[in-house]
């Protein structure tokens, strides 16, 4: 009797669950073992700020697929099982069963590494104090929610002014806390250009959030729990601190097995999600990708990318030939009453990559000018002045930014020029757009750039 081929997947949040499910659908006879060191699987980490704000009342609503659903599909899901090492020559992994305090060896034919990323904790004193949190996992979110619900928290400090930091500023204000955001850079949202970032700063400060720019974290202080945050220029009272300084790929398991690391010290993969070691694939926030605008390797950890990469890795590990061409870095966030969206390169990034850059920004209306509840929409386009190819875009406004950025992401994928973009047949109806959609207005203005 011929033994079944076995796929082992390490990590069961986004990329790992996508890989396991796709592999099993592709090859129903394939044995798929899905290992997760934590207790929670397949959850929407991007929904955690809304759970903490109280918009989502049940944590289980953040679960995309339950363990029962995976097991019903024929996937051998093992939670609280941590992979300690990979023996690539012998195609096996060493696994710790954390519930039973024992270890075992598990052989594989193919392996998918989807270990994700970890919140960055800077090397400063006091981060071990109770009351200092990160927000990466479902358990992180539940711990933070419990701390706020205790009624003992009044003053929150968020270290980092990016997407998650500002989404959490809104969530904590909704829970009645005073909030201070500490950002080392001279602007919020460092992956936006400064002129667009100023719109976000005005919105955040207008909602009662204190923002300290050009100010880095020095230490946290407190007797028994955190009581104060000391920055380069300020002392800020705090009984809750959230570290939101970005993530780092969790690639130590791969590196110790001899896998090559690439952009951002993430696992280097090709367009089939293959690593440099035969039979081993990687996907999600632990893996690098290709920035389609530049054609260069980049580390851009996003939930959308993780799911797509996981799907490709699982399909190929099961015998298919699929490819993942890369990303343009499309992202959007709701920050109080603003939709804040970007795709491709900022003006600053494009110049750093050596492009001959032209950029234009327009302020127009999200709807027909006479339609009620209209609001301004700011659209910035970045282009190569020589080829006129679109390089990137940023859109900020109270309405209409989130989905329009997808039009521009598609334009980047198609390598359109601003002249091409100006000819796109955008829809028109007064409740949704003026007769000249803001994307078209921005493209026509950018087309005049020299």
Note if 46 is an active site residue.
yes
- What is the C-alpha to C-alpha distance for residues 341 and 200, in angstroms, rounded to an integer? 11
Side by side, which strands form the sheet with 110-113? 76-79, 31-36, 6-10, 110-113, 280-282
Identified catalytic residue from 46, 322, 426, 449:
46
State both tokens at 133: 């949190």
Report the catalytic residues: 46
């Amino acid at each position: 009797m011929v033994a079944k081929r076995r796929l082992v997947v390490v990590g069961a949040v986004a990329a790992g669950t996508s890989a396991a499910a796709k592999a099993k659908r592709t090859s129903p006879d394939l044995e798929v073992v899905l290992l997760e060191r934590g207790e929670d699987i397949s959850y929407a980490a991007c929904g955690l700020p809304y759970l903490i704000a109280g918009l989502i009342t049940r944590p289980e609503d953040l679960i995309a697929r339950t363990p029962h659903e995976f097991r019903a599909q024929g996937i051998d899901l093992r939670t609280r099982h941590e992979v300690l090492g990979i023996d690539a020559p012998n195609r096996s992994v060493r696994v710790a069963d954390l519930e039973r305090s024992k270890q075992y060896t598990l052989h594989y034919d193919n392996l998918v590494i989807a270990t994700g990323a970890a919140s960055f904790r800077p090397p400063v004193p006091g981060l071990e104090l109770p009351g200092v949190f990160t927000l990466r996992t479902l358990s992180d979110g539940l711990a933070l929610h419990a701390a706020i619900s205790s009624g003992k928290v009044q003053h929150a400090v968020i270290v980092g002014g990016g997407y998650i930091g500002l989404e959490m500023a809104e969530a904590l204000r909704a829970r009645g806390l005073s909030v201070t955001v500490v950002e080392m850079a001279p602007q919020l949202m460092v992956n936006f250009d400064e002129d667009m970032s100023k719109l976000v700063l005005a919105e955040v400060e207008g909602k009662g959030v204190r923002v300290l720019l050009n100010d880095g974290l020095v230490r946290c202080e407190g007797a028994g729990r955190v009581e104060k945050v000391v920055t380069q220029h300020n002392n800020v009272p705090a009984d809750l601190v959230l570290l939101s300084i970005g993530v780092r790929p969790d690639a130590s398991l791969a590196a110790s097995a001899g896998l090559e690391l690439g952009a951002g010290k993430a696992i280097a993969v090709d367009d089939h999600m293959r690593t440099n070691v035969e039979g081993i694939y990687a996907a999600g926030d632990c893996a690098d990708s290709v920035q389609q605008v530049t054609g260069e390797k980049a580390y851009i950890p996003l939930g959308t990318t993780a799911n797509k990469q996981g799907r490709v890795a699982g399909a190929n590990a099961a015998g298919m030939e699929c490819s993942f061409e890369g990303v343009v870095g499309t992202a959007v966030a709701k920050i109080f009453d603003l939709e804040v969206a970007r795709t491709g390169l900022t003006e600053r990034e494009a110049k750093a990559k050596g492009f001959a850059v032209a950029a234009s920004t327009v302020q127009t209306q999200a709807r027909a000018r006479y339609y009620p509840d209209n609001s301004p929409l700011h659209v910035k386009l970045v282009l190569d002045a020589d080829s006129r190819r679109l390089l990137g875009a940023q859109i900020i406004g109270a309405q209409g930014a989130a989905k329009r950025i997808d039009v521009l992401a598609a334009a980047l994928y198609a390598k359109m020029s601003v002249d091409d973009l100006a000819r796109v047949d955008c829809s028109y109806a007064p409740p949704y757009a003026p007769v000249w959609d803001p994307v078209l207005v921005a493209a026509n203005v950018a087309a005049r750039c020299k």
